[in-house]
Amino acid sequence: MSRYNRHIILSDVGPEGQNKISNAKVLVIGAGGLGCPVLQYLAAAGVGTLGIIDFDIVEVSNLQRQILFGTSSLGINKALAAKERLEDLNPTIQINTYQEALTPQNALELFKNYDIIVDGTDNFETRYLINDAAVINNKPLVYGAIYKFEGQVSVFNYNNGPSYRCLFPIIPKKGSVANCSEVGVLGVLPGIIGTMQANEVLKIILGFDGVLSGKLFCYNSKTSETYTLKVKKLDSEIEKVLSEKEHFKTQIFNFNCGSKNVLLKDLHEFKNIQFIDVRELHEEPKIKLDNCIQIPLNQLNNNLDKISTTKIIIFFCQAGIRSRTAVEILKKHNITNCFSLEEGAAAIIEQLKIKA
């Protein structure tokens, strides 16, 4: 245990705390600017099992900030290149690599094998995917984000705390926020934010107080200013994710739709509507409308002939998640006269009661 002597002599860690670290299993999504320092410090700390998922390869532009890699890493998958460096840093730990993209099809099974999830990604689609998979599996999620000279850190889904959707319930339009490849980033910034993410992981493992759950820590590298915002838990956002967990693998986390989401109260603006229920046939409550048909989401591609080309299509499901996916599916078939009803079936039932 001499490798971890400086941990063990800490009265708040000791041999018992180091054993907790050695028994922990942490999945890091993305071995980029944030993932590199997270992985480096967690490996050095002796986290017993590290998972790394990244489909990308090392490019020369990465070397300005992705400190696990060198010139000899160019052209190599990032997960594999990171593993090689980390095994030299600490050969006593288990490192699992996944040379693939995180998708709705692999996320749930992958998350089950780990205690803590770390988000080192740089796009909204994947962040919502990670959040929802973490909520469904009840795994704490350590979040980090960077933009030019500013960074954020928080912990979601920890001890019944807020989720990422509680902080950002309104999904931004695709392309509305640029990533670092488009606007640049100060090279040391992901190192600072990633190290703070690693710190939050160790705090969770060791059971320390002060975990950044319900808090968003913000840092400005130009001014060295910091401030912390409170994140309020929105039970409705978490319940929405859990209500759709059986259909998680069929979702498309691609939020091009933006204005393609509508509220029930706004439907008076539309004329000549066709409602399409994309829930499974057994799901309740049943909706009885003259202008409504039911096509389960997984059968949508095979039933395009049932969809009107002259009417406005309003998709709905239980909570508004599958209906967004339905909009995306139709867009791939160049059918654009469709919208997703945000509130879902329950809101329609309530509206029908009012009219009755």
Q: Which residues contact 209 (CB under 8 A, 6 or more apart)?
A: none
CA 196 from chain centre, in angstroms, equals: 18
CA 315 from chain centre, in angstroms, equals: 24
Q: For the purposes of burial, counting CB atoms within 10 Å of the CB of 56, is it exposed (0-12), middle (13-18) or buried (19 or more)?
A: middle
Provide the token pair at 50: 């590290």
- List the catalytic residue out of 180, 218, 292, 338: 180
Q: How far apart are CA 336 and CA 338, in angstroms?
A: 5
Q: How far apart are CA 329 and CA 317, in angstroms?
A: 15
- List the catalytic residue out of 36, 166, 257, 317: 317
SS3 annotation, 242-305: HHCHHHHHHCCCCCCCHHHEECHHHHHHCCCEEEEECCCCCCCCCCCCCCEEECCHHHHHHHHH
317 is a catalytic site residue: yes
257 is a catalytic site residue: no
Instruction: Please list the active-site residues.
Output: 180, 317
